[in-house]
Amino acid sequence: MKSVVLELEGTLLKDPDPFSYFMLVAFEACGLIRFSLLLLVWPVIFLLDLLGMGDAGLKLTIFVAFAGVRESKIESVARAVLPKFYMNDLDMEAWRVFSSYDKRVVVTKTPRVMVERFVKEHLRAHQVIGRELVVNRLGLATGFVKDEFGSPSFQSLCKEKLHRPLIGNWMGDDDQFVRPVPVIFHDGRLVKRPTPSTALVILLWFPVGIILATIRIVVGLMLPMSIFLYIIPLFGMKIIVKGKPPPTSPASRTNTGVLFVCTHRTLLDPVALSIVMGRKVSAVTYSISRFSEILSPIPTVRLTRKRDVDAERIKRELTKGDLVVCPEGTTCREPFLLRFSALFAELTNQIVPVAMNCRVGFFHATTARGWKALDHIYFFMNPSPVYEVTFLNQLPVEATCSAGKNPHDVANYVQGILGETLGFECTKFTRKDKYRVLAGTTG
């Protein structure tokens, strides 16, 4: 059996400096104050590294980032937030070497809890060797670590013998290349990995972003929907429209409205669609906060996840006019579509698929772990958020349940054409799968 030991930082990951990952933990587990404090200490950490005291600098980083933080919070960030950023920093050439061996071991200079989830689940490592956090009886990290994984000479051996020389001699077969397990679900507010310079920009932008978000939300609540599309560029936002939306609601002549079936990127998907339509289109919702409902410029209809009750509510709303539904049931940030619930297909034959996508610069607008009431605010704090709304043709009657089609087949077909439009991969994962992964449960 062939075995390999690779160091994570600077070998499997392109960036040898783990500081930005501690910044992520500080922000997501503690908030802006700890984030700011760690950035304030960075010049000392940098100076220690220049003086050849990198290990002391790392221990100072760990202390400032983790002291007094509940261990469960650190584990939550390591599970739900860090894997996405680790994956973005992965050196694919090093991964080719690593994945070609039967037994794979990763050595890290950071606490093991930070990297174990990513390394084992996405890189298929068999073992992770790293520092252990010292945790008190209350479950709080003390900020200190146990150096149980070996002496500095062991790390040096890994770096010198298994770093670039091994990778440089790799002559792998591209056809046999196995890719890492992709990160489909991730959480957290920050879009960019907070290196010292990026973190400084985020901190400086934060007060400006709060003011800008307030202005955008107030203006959105005061002005009529019919002029939104022409005004939002003045506030640094943009909506790109592709395809041709239905001109007006047909409820008056057919006793039912159009059901817009959208991909789900943020809670603002129905708002973006209403702006494009130039009128308020009601949206069904599941788990948005009451505060978000208050801030919403369009009517919302809260569902219960009880199939019969929700079916009746959707039918009732369709008799009033057009309606927006996101059958994934939860948002997904990555280029994947979750499995579509088939309920929408059973309720109408007037189905218009709409492909939604958005781009943000600093902050994600949805979270599974944080305070959902801030979702609107974080979205509008981004300097120049962009939404893309692509209308596809209304499904022909023969492609709906009215022609005898199975509801699940209709739902899968709509998921497929929306995925193809966006270039996203369709999956069978559900809302429950997302929260199970992010919560670290197996049930």
Output the six-digit token pair for 391.
């209308």
CATH 3.30.1490 fits 3-176, yes or no: no
Instruction: Give 381-413 pLDDT, tens digit per residue.
Output: 999 999 999 999 999 999 999 999 999 999 999
CA distances from 334 to 107, 191, 245, 277, 296 (A): 28, 12, 26, 26, 25
Average pLDDT of the segment spanning 408-424? 97
> Which pLDDT score, from 0 to 100, does residue 170 have?
37
> Which pLDDT score, from 0 to 100, does residue 232 have?
93
Q: At 390, phi and psi to the nearest 5?
A: -115, 115
Mean of pLDDT over the chain: 89
Tell me the β-bridge partners of 260.
Answer: 324, 352
Q: Do domains 3-176 and 206-439 have the same CATH topology?
A: no
The pLDDT > 70 percentage for the chain reads 90
Residue 333: which of 189, 157, 151, 120 has the closest Cα? 189
> Which pLDDT score, from 0 to 100, does residue 148 have?
58
Residue 408: which of 339, 336, 348, 307 has the closest Cα? 339
Secondary structure of the chain as H, E, C letters = CCEEEEECECCCECCCCCHHHHHHHHHHHCCHHHHHHHHHHHHHHHHHHHCCCHHHHHHHHHHHHHCCCEHHHHHHHHHHCHHHHHHHCECHHHHHHHHCCCEEEEEEEEEHHHHHHHHHHCCCCCEEEEEEEEECCCCEEEEEEECCCCCHHHHHHHHHHHCHHHHHCCCCCHHHCCCCCCCCCCCCCECCCCCHHHHHHHHHHHHHHHHHHHHHHHHHHHCCHHHHHHHHHHHCCEEEEECCCCCCCCHHHHCCCCEEEECCCCCCHHHHHHHHHCCCCEEEECCCCHHHHHHCCCCEEECCCCHHHHHHHHHHHHHHCCEEECCCCCCCCCCEECCCCCHHHHHCCCEEEEEEEEECCCECCCCCCCCHHHHHHHHHHCCCCEEEEEECCCCCHHHCHHHCCCHHHHHHHHHHHHHHHHCCEECCCCHHHHHHHHHCCCC
| pLDDT value at 252 more than 50 | no
In angstroms, the CA 221 to CA 218 distance is 5
Tell me the β-bridge partners of 145.
Answer: 133
| pLDDT value at 5 more than 70 | yes
> Which pLDDT score, from 0 to 100, does residue 87 have?
97
| pLDDT value at 251 more than 60 | no
Residue 214 confidence class, pLDDT cut points 50, 70, 90: very high
- Of the candidate ranges 51-55, 164-168, 253-257, 299-303, the one whose mean pLDDT is the lowest: 164-168
In angstroms, the CA 305 to CA 287 distance is 10
| pLDDT value at 174 more than 60 | no
| pLDDT value at 190 more than 50 | yes
Contact yes or no for 146/131 (Cβ under 8 A): yes
Contact yes or no for 325/334 (Cβ under 8 A): no
* Residue 29 or residue 174, greater confidence: 29
Which CATH number is correct for 206-439, 3.40.1130, 1.10.20, 3.20.20, 1.10.3470? 3.40.1130
Residue 295 confidence class, pLDDT cut points 50, 70, 90: confident
| pLDDT value at 201 more than 90 | yes
Residue 58: which of 21, 6, 103, 100 has the closest Cα? 21
| pLDDT value at 362 more than 50 | yes
Query: Structural domain boundaries of the chain?
Result: 3-176, 206-439
> Which pLDDT score, from 0 to 100, does residue 255 have?
67
Contact yes or no for 127/5 (Cβ under 8 A): no
Residue 107 confidence class, pLDDT cut points 50, 70, 90: very high
Instruction: Give 80-92 pLDDT, tens digit per residue.
Output: 999 999 999 999 9
Instruction: Give 132-168 pLDDT, tens digit per residue.
Output: 999 999 999 999 998 655 444 444 444 444 444 344 4
Average pLDDT of the segment spanning 25-53? 96
Instruction: Give 329-339 pLDDT, tens digit per residue.
Output: 999 999 999 99
Average pLDDT of the segment spanning 372-387? 92
> Which pLDDT score, from 0 to 100, does residue 95 have?
93
> Which pLDDT score, from 0 to 100, does residue 157 have?
44
> Which pLDDT score, from 0 to 100, does residue 171 have?
37
| pLDDT value at 52 more than 60 | yes
| pLDDT value at 254 more than 70 | no
